[in-house]
Amino acid sequence: MNHAEVLLIGGRAGVGKTTCGWEVSALLRDAAVPHAIIEGDFMGQVHPAPEGDPDRAKITESNLTAMWANYTERGYHRLIYTNTLSVLPETTPMFQRALGTGARIIRVLLTASDETARERLLGRELGSELEQELRGGIRKARLLDQRVSTQTVRVVTDGRAVMDIAQEVASATGWLNPAHTRKN
């Protein structure tokens, strides 16, 4: 394999993106499939926003590009990337610049009902940002539902075990296919 492949796992707050990403990684490790994983939320976590980059898109891309260069230098060609809005079509240019224009992009949108996401966030958000996450999650769920492309794989997470969700997500990549696992 001489080109990059990236699995983008997106969805509202509380849908289980990070947990699913780690479980997909575990499946790939068990199958001896080389890969890297990046939690996209960390790529732009600076305060205040850099001058001229109010939404932190430039710093996010710069960090992703640097990390991917380190991974490819060591022979990795597959990436799991989790971030709420990463599955939107307008992220394609950023991923192509960071990973290369020939990068294969697989988009998976995790979905959950408002009630399920609220329950999960209540268990996770112990600090001051619970209300912000709840409000933003509802808004972003609607935005994602309306704007993801028809090629985006949608995976419902309500009432399902993480391992089952991860298996469905991993199957969208083809990376567990024996013919796909022979090379990095």
Residue-range domain boundaries for the chain? 5-171
Instruction: Please give the Cα distance from 35 to 23 (Å, whole number).
Output: 13
| pLDDT band (50, 70, 90) for residue 103 | very high
- Phi, psi at 108, each rounded to 5°: -130, 125
What pTM was computed for the model?
0.92
pLDDT on residue 133: 84
Whether 111 and 141 have beta carbons less than 8 Å apart is answered as: yes
Q: Which tens digits make up the pLDDT trace of 23-45? A: 999 999 999 999 999 999 999 99
Instruction: Please give the Cα distance from 81 to 8 (Å, whole number).
Output: 5
Instruction: Please give the Cα distance from 161 to 42 (Å, whole number).
Output: 26
Distances (CA, A) of 129 to 68, 133, 137, 174: 30, 6, 12, 37
Domain spanning 5-171, CATH class: alpha beta
Within 10 angstroms of residue 47's Cβ, the number of other Cβ atoms is: 5
The pair of structure tokens assigned to 7 is 């699995």
Q: At residue 183, does pLDDT exceed 70?
A: no
pLDDT on residue 50: 97
Instruction: Please give the Cα distance from 106 to 8 (Å, whole number).
Output: 6
